[in-house]
Chain A
Amino acid sequence: MRSLLLSAPLILMSLALLSSACGEFEPTNSFSQDQELYQAIAAIDTTTDAGARFSAARDVFERKCTGCHGLVSHSFHVYEEGDFVGYYVTAGDSGSSRLYRYLKGSGLSPATMPEGASLSTEDLETLKDWIDGLE
């Protein structure tokens, strides 16, 4: 009983500290990006040509890239076209797009991604169509 009486204040203090700090303790975990990811996917309008091209490109990323670059490593996000355009992709020009060069290789260097392998001609064509179709 004495232990219980002694422990009660400590328990209450711990709970108070914890609850006051709750706002600071939001975790980054396996589910943190679900909203961003799934809402972006839902927003893709596959009835348009542009939407269908991006959806097909996303499918290639899902199959070939996100195993290593996905939510676990947080190094590669496949949410919206805007995530790519700029650094990875030059809209309308697959030839000068960094992403496409990584995957297809160029005259100066072989393909570097996926590591030790290369995409099928079909997959490369899908990505080329998407990039070249971007405005």
Chain B
Amino acid sequence: MKGDPPVELRVILGNTRRMRNRLNFKRLKSRSLILGFWFSFFLFFDARNVHAYPNTIGYGYGSCTTCHFNSNGNGPLTDYGRALFATAIAAKPWIQAFGKTDEELGSSSGFLGRLQLPSLIRPFMGFRGMALVSDIESGSLSTRVIPMDLHAGMVLKAFKDRVFLSGTAAYSPPPVGSSESDSPTWITREHILVVRPWKWLEVGAGLTDVAFGLRVPEHPAFIRSWNGLSMNDQSHGAWMTWSGRSGQLTVHGLTGNFLQAADLRQKGVSATGEIEVAEKIRLGASAMSTTNDYRGRLLGAIHSRIGFTEGTSVIAQVGVNRESPVLTSLDETLGETFFLQSTFLLKRGWNLLFSFEQGTRDVLSGVQYFRAGPTLQVFPMQRLEFRFDLVASRLMGAEQVDPDRIALQSQLHLSL
């Protein structure tokens, strides 16, 4: 069998070819109904802000489990995910150290390239940094280089991936603008033990992202940062995920992050589910109720992921967030967030995205925030991503509108 692509790669290459002819026009009618439903919903609720990396629905991949060890996405890639990245998502590299054909690229997609590690060990590393140019609208540019994340970890797996342990350690820079001298330098964002006794059931425990809504990579997005789902907001807990051909449901019991003081831990429960209503059309809903000694949070959201032709998709999420102070007689606040992102495949490895966000922290304040802009996302080869976001932000008060603020975010993401 030496020289043959691995089974996973053969499956990927077959899938990729089939995807090009996948659009089923017989289902256009049902798609129209679904789109009509969402359009009506947004109009009715004056919908705000939605977002996601779950845009792989554009490649026909509805479930995160296909490519990620974590069934709700993010984190280390499976062998299949690595091979897919190399053979379908990223461009064919100019440097041909990893091969020329898709078969060779897929076979070289492991942590050590062509050198295969024992099946029970899957190490990974990653770096993400940004050059931020802000105040473009004023003409007096301000530039900052921000090392956002440097992490390393390992997945230990056995029984044909039915049992695995995944852990990471990461360098976490102090938050932008922080004046705290004791900000932590190292952090762990995931350490989980997962058991999949059957294909349709997963049981896991440990520290991981909270199962709620679209898990987009843009951590400042309102649907993440305002909902307490940002890059360091993981929680310990246990979860069960039921998966099937037509959808997925996760219920996540949350104990808060044990590495944080007990009174700050947000304890409660979240649930997120998604159903495939037609080919490459998924609708989902999420709910979460948590509290610590100081504030309670109740969140709800619905989302959609719609794939069109290969690599082209639209994802959206709208949600509400009620915060209730525990200790004080302060009023509750009700906020809302909306995220919408379209992805167009220009050519293999080159994507053009457009994002629109809207949100308010307190619907009674009359203050709304908007963000919108295009993104050029380039994967010149597997393991490497460049991303250029032009972001316009606007704050709109009850009586006046602020002028737009414009920033250019240039990101480098390296993953091994």
Contacts and interface: CB of A to CB of B under 8 A. Distances in A.
Interface of A: 3-4, 6-7, 10-11, 14, 18, 21-22, 24-32, 34-35, 37-39, 41-42, 63-64, 67-68, 72-75, 114-117, 120
B177 A73 contact: yes
Contact of B156 (A10, A18, A115): A10
A74 B179 contact: yes
Contacts of A32: 260, 264
Interface of B: 118-121, 154, 156-159, 165, 167, 169, 172, 174-180, 183-184, 186-188, 191, 220, 225-226, 228, 230, 232-234, 256-261, 263-266, 292-295, 325-328, 330, 361-362, 365, 367, 369, 395, 397, 399-403, 405
A18 B234 CA distance: 16
Nearest to B258: A22
Tell me the interface secondary structure of chain B in the complex: loop
B156 A35 contact: no
Given A3-B158, A7-B158, A38-B327, A30 B119 contact: no
Given A29-B260, A35-B261, A41-B330, A4 B159 contact: yes
A88 B169 CA distance: 38
Query: Chain A: interface secondary structure?
Result: helix
A76 to B, nearest CB: 8
A24 B326 CA distance: 29
A42 B328 contact: yes
Contacts of A37: 294
A30 B266 CA distance: 10
Given A3-B158, A7-B120, A27 B402 contact: no
B20 to A, nearest CB: 38
Question: Which one of A25, A28, A63 has the greatest number of beta carbons of chain B within 10 Å?
Answer: A25
A117 to B, nearest CB: 5
A101 B284 CA distance: 48
Top-8 shortest CB links A-B: A75-B177, A116-B402, A38-B294, A29-B232, A34-B294, A30-B228, A27-B232, A74-B178
